Structure 1
């Protein structure tokens, strides 16, 4: 399971918080009335086809991570699979277009607009006269009213995860006829288009029991192109069938099966015919593109990947020699290993042959990955240190490292609150500034962290250098004793009894990805209380070509680049940050980005202790609970940031029990100014002015330097050849009724 993504409705625990100081934000002037949203960085890739080219009937098997615990999207344990079911079977008054902007859904809504602003905001909805629930009842005001009452927050018997927007409604009434619904707000609400999507029938929302329990396992009444047929938790299948009462364009597929398949098993499921459509990671994408390339070239599976990739001619000869040697015990073991390897290669080759029937669809997800800085404690409680971390990062390099190999646009994200193409997007990163090593070092110096400062830990004992490096390079998490094994590759293992120091050569600034960057040995320089060390006179030490005279490091650590500075310390304590990363198989990309970030921070004197923790504890036990200094995770973009993003950046406040309520602000950094701008934006009914306020809030979030957006997440989807209108959707809401298989010519 990948922890690159974090849902909007996460559970938090309270921790101590230190508020950030208020800074002047010179870039606020850049948030003008001019539309800076631009176009999406990448369009959708769904093999678009007209409906007359698509066959009638067929079953599409689409991968999901798990069978959802609930089919009620407004409950705390709802997930992406819950939303996918709701999108196919329930009304959504508005859906997102290819630019990530909300558009009226004509299948349910003939029109909707604000008809009164004073003394109260009133929105009048005109429903599609053909819109009915699957039991034949018309969709109407009673359904709107039941959903409002359930989600308003007034009745605590409803176990709701959110009530944003619904808590601003004063009353809901029938209009001039059954097709009109009047919604009156007690407080102005700019994001009123976010409400009633999805819309549940009054059968679900009418009572707490129905809301809390009945809708978790089944939805008897629906109103979409599909209806829920079965939810089989044993097999992991959710089967949706055509809705015979659907009044819109008839669904092309007769069945849509959402099948729970873990991401690491999806390549095998695709090859085995169990899936037609699945989100995959870069490794599986490479397998599929390689299979397609092999098919076109007429060659078999290459030895450059798969279970036989590591078997070089030399190793193959050695294996044969052992299997046919005089040592019978060794020969038996090697023969068994050869048979096992041959079986794995045959299985892999067969899968590659089957994967030729798929293509990889590529786009960018409506979500971005960020570096989170926990400002509640430690060095990062100082805004200057947070800003130094941000100024040390080359965000363009990080975006290129992730996206360029996939053939996707590699531009860093410039906003916390929207992505390129969305109404609220504007690049406000100038409020913080671009990568600048000198500025980062100046900020650290101003905060009292100086190179060569005294450290109270004392001089390492003989042989302790490598152990200290090993501990700092990959700190073992108590909840994940296995998670740090990956850092052993470059640790000293020769067992020598020297003092762990040796002369090292210079390296370039971009070491290989497999080099651990967590602790790079400092070059001791004069000044700031430090003395230059020269160990080159030791005849046992050898200076490599291009090496920096005088540089030294614990054995097993990489030499610093020419820009690395001495260890920074203040009041006898070294500057070191705990960098928490997930250890699971689906998180390789995050760990690679973490390694690059650690190297960038080392160049300005900030050391990192990388802790690789178990996937199932990464978010709950570390991010949400505040047990980290640095972490990588993602947030989805919203068409309504004034509502949806506010909990992520709101200033934490004391709760009634004495704890701190951080909502979803896991960096624990917030300001009154940001809160005020969100409040103003969500109450401003002029769309341009509301957008301007959101952009100003974003600039101030940048200035606080607690969350550094890095890049938009890649979206890779394996799609069966001949499947149309499905794949990498990007921003756009899927049109379930248009999905299907092309007619055979």
Structure 2
């Protein structure tokens, strides 16, 4: 799955829940015959073409973020390129379709089904009789068993990053013949289709040494349409070539070269003709679109006689050979609220933050200028089109200033307080090493700074009602013009391992009821409760302290759109009396030193979608628990917000073999995650891919797993079909 922006690498996921008296959300997420999943908001955009229209041969040069440290997807330092290589060279029993749902991969699997449920769940796999490893050996039960033993978690000598699902297997044995594999589970496992994708040969999985080291820089034995020819860290590229023992459709391409090209250098690489395919940011997409509209008119001639103009014209000529294929990435950007300490430890304040946000406006700002469907994401656990998707945001409620202010008042945050004195203290601190900017007009589009190891902090807020009105008017005018806010795509190069050490932070325990009698969904205070007089005009305070939240963002050059979204959020919060201190930090420290360590109040990062949320979402939303050393084990729940009931719902969902019941449980869990307000899904991320016009069956894949053997260059005069994408 694609995961290229600011956000933790999604090796696992997880969840948590609120108290039983919280909200009347059971009805919202109850089991229903109605299909709530809908369809993907945008289809894939890959210039589809029949295989007979594609030339035989050619090299596809594909820009990636980096040459991975390992080719073993089950290790902690695996990345998106590791996954891309595995998809091309290794078996997968299931792969995702255009709706993000798992489908049997017929190249490897004739059938797979649950053949027994009592006393144990038994799944019988019948393998394609042509399926062989590149050394000629048949794929069989020995490979399945070796992978299970390596990933079961029973042998600590294997340095594995995940074992979900494999830890439920009791035994694996040969079936009636060599083509059958019989897997018996010790405990029922709903997401059994997630297993053995990818499948490594027993030569990799068979011993701790071969697992830990043998597959890091080479894969001698593979079983996909392509094989790994060379991993060259010095030249920063991986070369894949046709697998001569491949039994399926012969790959059209002779070679795929995955070349490491930094995000901010991709436009130049495209202009130089150095790559054929690259995910890009909106500014590069604009350049390609402008070159395409120029259509060759005046090609090669300087615009106004300067050297820089001549260079720009030449670059425009070069870019005319590319087009931008766009869709929505199978990932959503969220606002994370750290509930472990400070004002956000109070659930009422978190819910007030959520009720202050106009998620539709944020989605419009990001996606509409790109011509993509601007629809807010309604689920933490799936995206539109996936089986588990349902819009459960009603469990929290839409934007409502009055409700947000009532929640804050109920939590004790009232107008007044030493806000100006606080700002003076911040300025004094800035003089001592932090660059701090008192931004009383809310204009936060100044110098991004934040380079090197320094942090930059500025405050979004206003000092009086007059300034506030002017600020809001300016903000509304800015919203009307999207030209400077052309989308949030690759938010940063920052990543964090799912095994990061977490700071020991206390988790707020809340025994309060989420809805008082007569109240509206998403509010504590009864419907109609008036906000305190003047609440909208000034900042809020409690116990002599102002309500100010530290909003941490990456400072790199590729993160300007992300910071623009953060500024919009800050202004929305300012309208209900919540001040934000925007702090820009170096990209390389963003996740490790701030998000994973809990040193933030608000942050923006992304999670990829999973076809198996009962398994993959659990670590993200699980209730943090104390570790043996006294620290807090948060897994991947960087908001530190979780409850026992959501954990229980996930446990039920992953242990239920009734698929409709599993979906219902997942939707109930999601409604309660909304109610907890630890993270607020905003929008599905845009996926922009620059592709040489002659390339077919590749581009913005959306949900679907790429079909590598069908990629290639069109024959002379051949034209691809029109992609059935809403983004066209």
TM-score interval, smaller chain: 0.7 to 0.9
- Alignment match, 2:578: 606
Do structure 1's residue 354 and structure 2's residue 318 form an aligned pair? yes
- Alignment match, 2:521: none
Structure-2 change in CA distance of 1:206 and 1:8 (3 Å): same
Displacement after TM superposition at 1:432 (Å): 0.2
* 1:590 equivalent among 551, 562, 569: 562
Secondary structure of 1:72's partner?
Answer: coil
- Alignment match, 1:536: none
- Alignment match, 2:329: 365
Displacement after TM superposition at 1:634 (Å): 0.1
TM-score (norm 2): 0.84
- Alignment match, 1:30: 28
How far apart, CA to CA, are the structure 2 residues paired with 1:648 and 1:149?
A: 25
- Alignment match, 1:112: 112
Higher radius of gyration, 1 or 2: 1
* 1:686 equivalent among 645, 658, 671: 658
Structure-2 change in CA distance of 1:21 and 1:566 (3 Å): farther
Structure-2 change in CA distance of 1:693 and 1:426 (3 Å): same
Where do residues 192-341 of structure 1 align in structure 2 (5 Å cutoff)? 192-295=192-295, 298=298
How far apart, CA to CA, are the structure 2 residues paired with 1:458 and 1:483?
A: 19
Q: Is contact 2:300–2:314 with CA below 8 Å preserved after alignment?
A: no
Q: Is contact 1:424–1:691 with CA below 8 Å preserved after alignment?
A: yes
Q: Deviations over 1:496-537 (max 9, x none)?
A: xxx999978734152537999xxxxxxxxxxxxxxxxxxxxx
Q: Is contact 1:364–1:715 with CA below 8 Å preserved after alignment?
A: yes
How far apart, CA to CA, are the structure 2 residues paired with 1:390 and 1:491?
A: 18
- Alignment match, 1:440: 404
How far apart, CA to CA, are the structure 1 residues paired with 2:586 and 2:616?
A: 29
- Alignment match, 1:724: 696
Q: Is contact 1:23–1:703 with CA below 8 Å preserved after alignment?
A: no
Structure-2 change in CA distance of 1:427 and 1:166 (3 Å): same
How far apart, CA to CA, are the structure 2 residues paired with 1:204 and 1:250?
A: 26
- Alignment match, 2:706: 734
Where do residues 633-648 of structure 1 align in structure 2 (5 Å cutoff)? 633-648=605-620
Displacement after TM superposition at 1:587 (Å): 1.2
How far apart, CA to CA, are the structure 2 residues paired with 1:502 and 1:398?
A: 25
How far apart, CA to CA, are the structure 1 residues paired with 2:125 and 2:144?
A: 10
- Alignment match, 2:9: 7
* 2:601 equivalent among 619, 629, 646: 629
TM-score (norm 1): 0.82
- Alignment match, 1:550: none
How far apart, CA to CA, are the structure 1 residues paired with 2:418 and 2:292?
A: 59
How far apart, CA to CA, are the structure 1 residues paired with 2:282 and 2:584?
A: 21
Displacement after TM superposition at 1:172 (Å): 0.1
- Alignment match, 2:52: 52
Q: Is contact 1:291–1:301 with CA below 8 Å preserved after alignment?
A: no
- Alignment match, 1:397: 361
How far apart, CA to CA, are the structure 1 residues paired with 2:306 and 2:585?
A: 34
- Alignment match, 1:577: 549
- Alignment match, 1:160: 160
How far apart, CA to CA, are the structure 2 residues paired with 1:19 and 1:696?
A: 10
Displacement after TM superposition at 1:395 (Å): 0.1
Q: Is contact 2:449–2:555 with CA below 8 Å preserved after alignment?
A: no
Structure-2 change in CA distance of 1:11 and 1:623 (3 Å): farther
Figure out how many residues of one structure are paired with residues of the other and give that number: 650
Q: Is contact 2:450–2:584 with CA below 8 Å preserved after alignment?
A: no
Do structure 1's residue 417 and structure 2's residue 381 form an aligned pair? yes
Q: Deviations over 1:661-711 (max 9, x none)?
A: 000000000010100000000000000001100000000000000000000
Q: Deviations over 1:22-81 (max 9, x none)?
A: 652223313232220000000000000000000000000011000000000000000000
Structure-2 change in CA distance of 1:479 and 1:744 (3 Å): closer
Do structure 1's residue 666 and structure 2's residue 638 form an aligned pair? yes
Where do residues 471-486 of structure 1 align in structure 2 (5 Å cutoff)? 482=454, 484=456
Structure-2 change in CA distance of 1:267 and 1:483 (3 Å): farther
How far apart, CA to CA, are the structure 2 residues paired with 1:11 and 1:456?
A: 42
Q: Deviations over 1:351-394 (max 9, x none)?
A: 21100000000000000000000000000000000000000000
Do structure 1's residue 431 and structure 2's residue 395 form an aligned pair? yes
Q: Is contact 1:28–1:431 with CA below 8 Å preserved after alignment?
A: no
Q: Deviations over 1:525-569 (max 9, x none)?
A: xxxxxxxxxxxxxxxxxxxxxxxxxxxxxxxxxxxxx99421100
How far apart, CA to CA, are the structure 1 residues paired with 2:158 and 2:379?
A: 35
Structure-2 change in CA distance of 1:669 and 1:477 (3 Å): farther
Displacement after TM superposition at 1:3 (Å): 4.2
Q: Deviations over 1:261-319 (max 9, x none)?
A: 0011011111112100000010000000011111265577998xxxx9xxxxxxxxxxx
Displacement after TM superposition at 1:452 (Å): 2.2
How far apart, CA to CA, are the structure 2 residues paired with 1:424 and 1:386?
A: 26
Secondary structure of 1:348's partner?
Answer: helix
Calculate the aligned-residue CA RMSD, in Å.
Answer: 3.1
How far apart, CA to CA, are the structure 1 residues paired with 2:301 and 2:165?
A: 55
- Alignment match, 1:470: 438
Secondary structure of 1:217's partner?
Answer: coil
Structure-2 change in CA distance of 1:298 and 1:342 (3 Å): closer
Displacement after TM superposition at 1:99 (Å): 0.1
How far apart, CA to CA, are the structure 2 residues paired with 1:188 and 1:459?
A: 57
Q: Deviations over 1:218-262 (max 9, x none)?
A: 000000000000111111110000000000000000001101000
Give the stretch that moved more between structures: 228-237 or 76-85: 228-237
How far apart, CA to CA, are the structure 2 residues paired with 1:345 and 1:82?
A: 40
How far apart, CA to CA, are the structure 1 residues paired with 2:390 and 2:147?
A: 34
- Alignment match, 2:478: 512
Structure-2 change in CA distance of 1:573 and 1:706 (3 Å): same
Where do residues 125-204 of structure 1 align in structure 2 (5 Å cutoff)? 125-204=125-204
How far apart, CA to CA, are the structure 2 residues paired with 1:425 and 1:383?
A: 25
Q: Is contact 2:464–2:538 with CA below 8 Å preserved after alignment?
A: no
How far apart, CA to CA, are the structure 1 residues paired with 2:598 and 2:430?
A: 30
How far apart, CA to CA, are the structure 1 residues paired with 2:564 and 2:713?
A: 38
- Alignment match, 2:523: none
Displacement after TM superposition at 1:453 (Å): 4.3
